[in-house]
Amino acid sequence: MIVSDKMKSVIVHYNQGLTLYKSRKFAEAKEEFKKGLAIHPEDGPSKLYIERCDDYIADPPPEDWDGVYNMKTK
């Protein structure tokens, strides 16, 4: 499979965002995911993590958070 330069850039921003997210740096992570969306507006994983970042910015996870996202609604 050949990955375009455009998608490589999206992947770089996504991976940087994911690293920040796992480090509980949700605002910074959100910005990385948004950079990916600016390149590829239909990137579903980036959209999902932006929503999760917003949730955790508003209501941070506990100190012993293991990185697992707990859905609040079904």
Please write the tens of the pLDDT for every residue from 33-61.
999 999 999 999 999 999 999 999 999 99
Tokens of 57: 């910015």
Q: What average pLDDT does the structure give for the chain?
A: 93
Q: Name which of 67, 32, 38 is nearest 50 in CA terms.
A: 32
Indicate yes or no: pTM above 0.75. yes
Tokens of 56: 């955790």
- pLDDT value at residue 74: 60
Tokens of 54: 């917003």
> Would residue 67 be called left, alpha or beta, if left means φ above 0 and alpha means ψ between -120 and 50 degrees?
left
